[in-house]
């Protein structure tokens, strides 16, 4: 094998390794989905919305309401289930639901997930938030819902507090 062939082989293996790593971390990112045409309509979220624990119910005019929740305790670098449950007949009009987590005041990279629709009509995704060196971090769960009625964006605030023992959050 010549030196030129060896270099190409190493480069090819390196590219394949990087793609394999990315596929394992975020397979939803490596899709050929076409973006929804038109813009997202931002929906106001109730100020008393507590995303963690029992969750909160949000209403979208003309579409219906959804119960959105995260576990009571969210630990960075550990899986947590993000759940969206359409209420009543709302689920019939829903196509796709995605969530993109953004930390307030700091870029923590891409933390986007497509929620899977389950047989009972609810949507869920196992999510992992990155770790931050501060004890408390404020986050936004930017939830996009695409339906036959349009595309909507809900910004749901929540906190992650690493200084509290598990279960006290």
DSSP 33-60: PPPPSSPPEEEPPPTT---BTT-EEEEE
Alpha-helical segments (H) within the chain: 3-25
pLDDT for 9 equals 83
Q: What is the band of 163 on the pLDDT scale with cuts at 50, 70, 90?
A: low
Helix (H, G, I), strand (E, B) or coil at 157: strand
pTM of the predicted protein model: 0.72
147 Cβ partners below 8 Å, 6+ apart? 63, 93, 94, 95
Share of the chain above pLDDT 90, in %: 50
Q: What is the pLDDT of residue 26?
A: 53
**Residue 57 clears pLDDT 90, i.e. is over it:** yes
Q: Which class for 87: exposed (0-12), middle (13-18), buried (19 or more C-beta within 10 A)? A: middle
The two structure tokens encoding residue 94? 């829903």
Pick the CATH number of 35-161 from 2.60.40.10, 3.30.1360.40, 1.10.3260.10, 3.40.30.10: 2.60.40.10
Instruction: Please give the structure tokens belonging to residue 159.
Output: 């906190």
Q: What is the pLDDT of residues 76-104, one digit of tens each?
A: 889 999 999 999 888 888 999 999 999 99
What pLDDT is attached to residue 91? Answer: 85
Q: What is the pLDDT of residue 23?
A: 59
pLDDT in tens, 27-56: 554 443 433 445 889 999 999 999 999 999
Strand order across the 112-114 sheet: 41-43, 150-161, 136-147, 94-103, 112-114
* Torsion angles phi and psi, residue 43, rounded to 5: -110, 130
**pLDDT by residue (tens digit) across 104-129?**
988 888 899 999 999 999 999 999 99
Residue spans per domain, the chain: 1-32, 35-161
């Amino acid at each position: 094998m010549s030196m030129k062939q060896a270099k190409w082989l190493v480069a090819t293996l390196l590219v394949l390794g990087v793609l394999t790593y990315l596929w394992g971390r975020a397979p939803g990112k490596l899709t050929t989905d076409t973006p929804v045409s038109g813009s997202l309509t931002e929906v106001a979220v109730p100020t008393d919305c507590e995303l963690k624990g029992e969750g909160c119910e949000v209403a979208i005019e003309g579409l219906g309401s959804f119960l959105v929740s995260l576990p009571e305790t969210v630990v960075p670098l550990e899986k947590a289930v993000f759940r969206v449950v359409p209420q009543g007949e709302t689920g019939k009009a829903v196509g796709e639901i995605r969530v993109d987590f953004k930390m307030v005041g700091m870029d923590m990279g891409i933390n986007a997930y497509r929620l899977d629709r389950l047989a009972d009509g609810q949507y869920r995704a196992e999510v992992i938030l990155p770790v931050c060196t501060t004890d408390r971090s404020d986050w936004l769960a930017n939830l996009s819902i695409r339906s036959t009625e349009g595309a909507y964006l809900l910004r749901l605030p929540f906190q992650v507090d690493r200084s509290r023992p598990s279960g006290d959050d």
